[in-house]
Each structure stands twice: as C-alpha cells, then as structure tokens.
Amino acid sequence: MRLLMVGDIVGRPGRTAAHRLIPALRREHGVDFVVANAENAAGGIGITREIAVELLEQGGVDVVTLGNHAWAKREVYGYLDGEPRVLRPVNYPPGAPGHGHGLFQTPAGPVGVAVVQGRVFMEAIDDPFRAADAVLADLRRAAPIVLVDLHAEATSEKQAIGWYVDGRATAVLGTHTHVQTADERVLPNGTAYITDVGMTGPIDSVIGMSRETVLARFTTSVPTRFEVADGPARLCAVLVEADAGTGRALRIERIQVMSEGK
C-alpha cells in the first residue's frame, strides 16, 4: 500500500497548490490513500467546512488532519462532530468537538489514521504517549496500516514519540513546524518516521506568513497581525510504502513540488 501525507496547507496559495498537485501525485506514484494536514488552510489559521469539503470531494484527499489550530473557526465545530474524515488531535480532553482517529476503507485494505499532539511549547493537553497507546491499540485491532500525524513543536518530543510507537504504527509523520526535515527513515521495528513533512504554501514567506508582518513583530516586539504571503507555492509531502498484511513500512520518500502560477 502506498500512502501520501501532505504537509500543512497554508492559505489560498497552499490550497491552490494542493488542488493542482495532489491528483497528479496520486497518479504518478500509484497512491492508495492521501492524508493532508489543513489546520492553516483558512487564511493561515484554522479550517472551514467549505475548504474541507473541497479538499475531500475535489482535491484528491481522503482524510484531512488538524492540529492546535483546529478551533480557530468556531463555526466549524458542528462540522467536525459530523465529518469523520476530518480529524483533530486525539488527546484533547473529552467534550472537545470532533474525532481524533478513524478507520477508513480503501481498495487496498483498511487504513487507520490518528492525530496526536505534543505538549512541549504547546497547550497542556492530555499525555500524547498514553494517548498513542490507547489509539494504536484500538486501530490495530481493525487495520494493520496505521498512520499517525504527529502535530508537535519540539523535535525531541517528536523523535521520542516515534521511538515509543516503533512497530505499532506504520508511519509517524510530523507536522506543525512547516519546515521539511531531512531525517526520514524506517525505524528498526518497521515504522516510517520524519520529524516534519513540511508546508504546502508560499515559499517567499516565514512559514507561510508575509515576511513583512513577521519581521515587524520580531524587530519591534509589537504585536502585528500575520497575513498569508503571496507568490509561488510549493507542496511538501512524504510517500510511504508499506506491507498491507503486516503494516510494516518498507520505505519513505520526501517530496517537494513547485506549483506553477497563482
């Protein structure tokens, strides 16, 4: 089975790049299942129902994952409750809108997907290690293939969780920091790992945001409103090939593709 994980989609430039490139990548690589993180798809923060529907119905995406910005648009809460293909982090406390994991059927077999959010330099939510224990035990009963979107800030925490679940997940793929890392590998017990998949969004930016607005905050310490940058965009992703019977990853490959036009 071949799985494609698309890194954080940022604003309109990221959405345009995703819509243009994901269907082509599916065909080129014979992809069976696509997961895309879109927690920054709506103006750089959060997601709307309309954006999620476009990605799922027209953009070649099978599951949309979110992170700590899942709650940025309050009007989407009801949609999260009713749409199992859009996942927020599993380790928010009971009562949070939406679903943190799901089981999905494909022609190549079932796939489990979960989002786990870190705590270092982020919100003090439930323990991601214990959350990973629970969700992997649940999903592995139904599907040998399980992909984890690991949404976290600290590289050390991401690596620690990757080692912690090695052999229990097919892939642990980092999101949130928007810069693709070069440490992709298959861990000894068969889990594909990368610290960060990267960003799908404007390249002449600071992690997707306008350079001018970000530099103003850094140089003056005065709060400024960030805006999504304009200009050419790039899609960052990883391709994971796995044994559909055992769930073990066979290889992982980084992908970067420029999107032409606006």
The three-state secondary structure class of 133 is helix
The side-by-side arrangement of strands in the sheet containing 109-117 is: 101-106, 109-117, 145-151, 171-175, 192-194, 185-186
Nearest 5°: phi and psi at 244? -65, -20
Residue 224 pLDDT: 86
Active-site residue among 19, 29, 69, 176? 69
Cα 183 versus chain centre, distance: 17
pLDDT digits (tens, 9 = 90+) for 182-231: 999 999 999 999 999 999 999 999 999 999 999 999 999 998 889 999 99
Helices (H), ranges, 61-210: 77-82, 128-140, 155-164
257 token code pair: 């593709």
Residue 262 pLDDT: 55
Q: What is the C-alpha to C-alpha distance for residues 112 and 126, in angstroms, rounded to an integer?
A: 21
Active site residue 69: yes
The three-state secondary structure class of 10 is strand
Residue 115 pLDDT: 98
**CA of 199: how far to CAs of 146, 153, 204, 211, 212, in Å?**
22, 14, 12, 16, 19
Per-residue pLDDT of the chain (262 residues; tens, 9 = 90+): 999 999 999 999 999 999 999 999 999 999 999 999 999 999 999 999 999 999 999 999 999 999 999 999 999 999 999 999 999 999 999 999 999 999 999 999 999 999 999 999 999 999 999 999 999 999 999 999 999 999 999 999 999 999 999 999 999 999 999 999 999 999 999 999 999 999 999 999 999 999 999 999 999 999 888 999 999 999 999 999 999 999 999 999 999 999 975 5
Residue 225 pLDDT: 87
Count Cβ atoms below 10 Å from residue 217 Cβ, excluding itself.
15
Residue 151's region, left for phi above 0, alpha for psi from -120 to 50, else beta, is beta
